[in-house]
Structure 1
């Protein structure tokens, strides 16, 4: 009897236990799909969507209710808007006001107008056409920022303009979500008094949140900071985000609006970076879960039945959005090349279209079938973006640098020829200029030349890897040639040309790493140095000083390391014995970079 009772108790405990299987499946699908899609250049968002589709009710059917997951995952959207708010410091917005509220608002407005016409042309009502088109206007921040980072263009003027447009689109999310509620089909008759009361409650919620944020949040975090309890700070950050979202929800407004306002109110707080670090892991996991839920909700039967409409929508939306972006860019005096590149990068729909469509479905503007069609349209546009970028890069003619304010290297002569005036060349020139040495500087980047002229440097345009340019720059008369270009292959080619044509002129060069240094030595340079070698040695020496190692021993250690390094380089040149291996110095493993 006791055994039977124990068995029943075990069964009951097993049934009452938390089911880990769904969690393991969700995490496993993300872990497999996201790295794979990123490796293919398709981005993490498409990876999440594909994983959700694979495990959802229309794939392997490991989950039957995608909406249940979406309800929880909406917290990821809430936290994402909180982080956006943290980045929207009033001072930053004011400094970028021209590009954000001029260029950004112009592009969003024109594209909304054009893309709304697609739905109207297909015979859909105005509200549905507006929501469908507006969702496609919101560009994929994840895709565009990744491409800008890969191209090292985020801090360039053209990159900053794209970032400003993305900021405006982020700002537009909150009012667009609020507008969806107002566009919802009319329910039961509501009196004017009730409407006024509802508006008053909403405004009161906003005012209360602003007052609390202005006078309570910073003192609260200051008090918690003194407690030095990291987990309490994390709990407080989540409390602020979710509390603000709940306050807006109780006021009849969007949870996302509450989180965004809380972020803005804390954007200039001394705890801003701490809050962002605390919320970011939750934001990343829950937003990934949201995209997984969107993928699960994709109805393949609906997509297969409406594939012609989806193809037409993708083509119409991407073409019209491309035209709108290009027209606005040219209107704001961007060059043809910049306008085309911006249009190609931003032609797709974005992640927040899923949020907008989910909100529109919840209030009845569109049905679940339309949501599936529009979601498939966005996903297809995102998948086409890498292909469009590849075609742009291959078909677009090479940029011809503007020579305004730039002089060609011609009939020059000086005791030093400096090739390349980037971060290394600028520093290398300082001791020479301080000794009043005559220097000829050539550079192939016209923007860098114009920037140098603003600081009083005379830099000529010239490609040092061309022999005629070396002659025109006075390499034959120089007493030393310095190669400081930011291009590995070009540096080797310049070294080979210089030593072949001007063998009596010493050549010193900047190397990137050991492998590059070996190629320069084989090209015949008289002296080379890896760009991080001496700075790393100085860091090590300073660390020994703080460890109270006396100066004589420090010098002996540093000399021994330099000797060992020189020996290894010599061995690699003559026999390649150590090439590609881990090397041992003292007790530290030094890996060949």
Structure 2
């Protein structure tokens, strides 16, 4: 009897896994994407079709952990330097997109559907949210996370994820029950501030020493357990304080973004994130009320069409206003045209608070789910629109990537380096995330593979583990640093040479472990100065002697800064350019001071 009870307790997990194993490959083969497969599997095993799960809410709590882990990994990727680099798109473009899309849809619900203002405002702002859980895997799968449209979409999604906290506060403010809860508002705010402070302080002073101690123990599974404990602990603390669990996980990720163990933590969490995200979309499918869809299908069909078109139009228009090129704005708008998973949280809370009627909340939940299901179809038709903008999306196959040198970045710098290597007959595998490079490479007799060099799986697929040498020639300094950090951690035995933006960046790259660096303007500037001296009347021999002397002084100072600790990590960001040769009547700069590149 006890054995049969154990078998029955295993039935539901087996059903979930079997549904995913069957539906997801079929959906991917049909070109619809795994998310639609998970949702379809959830519908099939849910209470309205096969009835294998009569109570979908039983798995909803566990499924929400998928969103929590997703936000943690987003936080890990978002160190303070990247956050600062994206500040305009996050806080400017992201806010404008939320208010623009939400305002248009709130007005439509108020005047076209006749909803009350509180319900229309909450519903409109909720529909303005897009699906982080859907869009980020799509970007990662296509290797477009660091592409211009990928960074734009990521910035908007990040603002939307952060906006769930004030949106939930807005629901409490608009609730008819808000008057009864007013007396505890200050206490709730104090609790929230205390919880945030606890997470920040723990992340700042405890997490790095903790992971360092565990790493020295040599037990990798303990590192995985500690990572899960940090995520769940931060999420639980935020939930106890009345904030979003996802917010706590995101904050923990940001605080660990500068950690030496960031990439290992990301690799440990990734399998759990994938499975729990799949469970989340299964629960969405199981909770989809087919009765509401059958009764209101004309309204839902019109609503999905209106939602996709309105979000496409507003996101494209706002991105263009912020100066993004047409193709970047269009590709970001195509990615963000659906509703988001946080809409389920918002509408459930609004129904409990009395801001939305239960029928309205059910209708909106079905609308968001159906819009998410349309995303693979919208993106499938996207290339036809993108070709009109002069840009296409290639599908990459790395089976022919056999070069002995892997070069990441094929811009103006990488193209010249390629000429030197190919002149000697060296086989080079070229990797870039700009589709236009593919056409440019044909003129060099080479092929550029399309992919994101900041992803370890893409690097491995492109043959990084077989390469004799890896060259990082990317344009953006933060991208170069990120690629180098990943290569040094995962493939420490392969020499890696990197292009540096300036002297501080070169020192930082050597500190991470670059075999050698080349400042992108050093050689051209020295040659330019030599030709200027020739133009002023010096003989070429005299000009070359002056060039050699300046090169020597620069090399000696750079060596001193690197080997003798003349520059600290903090100095790399505050280094003040100083001349190698002082002006007449001034003293020479001390060792460790910088020279302008």
Cα deviation code 1:144-166 (max 9, x no counterpart): 45665676654443443333323
Deviation at 1:321, TM superposition (A): 1.5
Provide closer, same or farther for how the CA distance between residues 63 and 269 of structure 1 changes in structure 2, counting only shifts above 3 A.
same
Deviation at 1:367, TM superposition (A): 4.9
Partners of 1:432 and 1:84 in 2: CA distance? 39
Is residue 2:376 matched to residue 1:376?
no
Deviation at 1:431, TM superposition (A): 6.5
Q: Is this contact kept in 1: 2:70–2:133, CA < 8 A? A: no
Q: Is this contact kept in 1: 2:211–2:223, CA < 8 A? A: yes
Provide closer, same or farther for how the CA distance between residues 363 and 71 of structure 1 changes in structure 2, counting only shifts above 3 A.
farther
Deviation at 1:322, TM superposition (A): 1.9
Provide closer, same or farther for how the CA distance between residues 15 and 400 of structure 1 changes in structure 2, counting only shifts above 3 A.
closer
Question: 2:315 pairs with 325, 330, 337, which one?
Answer: 325
What corresponds to 1:167 in structure 2? 158
Q: Is this contact kept in 2: 1:84–1:170, CA < 8 A? A: no
Provide closer, same or farther for how the CA distance between residues 302 and 400 of structure 1 changes in structure 2, counting only shifts above 3 A.
closer
What corresponds to 2:295 in structure 1? 305
Give the 3-state SS of the residue equivalent to 1:42 in structure 2.
coil
Is residue 2:296 matched to residue 1:334?
no
Farther-moved stretch of structure 1 (420-429 vs 176-185):
420-429
Is residue 2:91 matched to residue 1:105?
no
Note the residue ranges of structure 2 that are not aligned, 5 or more in a row: 392-409, 425-433, 450-461, 471-492, 494-597
What corresponds to 2:445 in structure 1? 483
Partners of 1:251 and 1:338 in 2: CA distance? 39
Deviation at 1:236, TM superposition (A): 1.5
Instruction: Name the Cα RMSD after superposition.
Output: 3.8
Q: Is this contact kept in 2: 1:322–1:344, CA < 8 A? A: yes
What corresponds to 2:15 in structure 1? 25
Provide closer, same or farther for how the CA distance between residues 532 and 93 of structure 1 changes in structure 2, counting only shifts above 3 A.
closer
Is residue 2:196 matched to residue 1:206?
yes
Partners of 2:24 and 2:230 in 1: CA distance? 30
Question: 1:271 pairs with 250, 258, 261, which one?
Answer: 261
TM-score w.r.t. structure 2 length? Answer: 0.64
Question: 1:256 pairs with 224, 246, 250, which one?
Answer: 246
Give the 3-state SS of the residue equivalent to 2:206 in structure 1.
helix
TM-score w.r.t. structure 1 length? Answer: 0.64
What corresponds to 1:349 in structure 2? 339
Q: Is this contact kept in 2: 1:361–1:368, CA < 8 A? A: yes
Deviation at 1:285, TM superposition (A): 1.8
Write out aligned runs for 1:433-448 (5 A): none
Partners of 1:189 and 1:329 in 2: CA distance? 42
Question: 2:167 pairs with 173, 176, 182, which one?
Answer: 176
Write out aligned runs for 1:106-505 (5 A): 106-121=96-111, 122-141=113-132, 143-145=134-136, 148=139, 153-186=144-177, 189-190=180-181, 192=183, 194-394=184-384, 398-399=388-389, 426-427=416-417, 429-430=419-420, 483-484=445-446
Deviation at 1:392, TM superposition (A): 4.4
Deviation at 1:295, TM superposition (A): 0.9
Provide closer, same or farther for how the CA distance between residues 361 and 71 of structure 1 changes in structure 2, counting only shifts above 3 A.
farther
Equivalenced residue count is 433
Is residue 2:63 matched to residue 1:73?
yes
Q: Is this contact kept in 1: 2:109–2:124, CA < 8 A? A: yes
What corresponds to 1:472 in structure 2? none
Q: Is this contact kept in 1: 2:152–2:332, CA < 8 A? A: no
Could you say which structure has the larger radius of gyration?
1
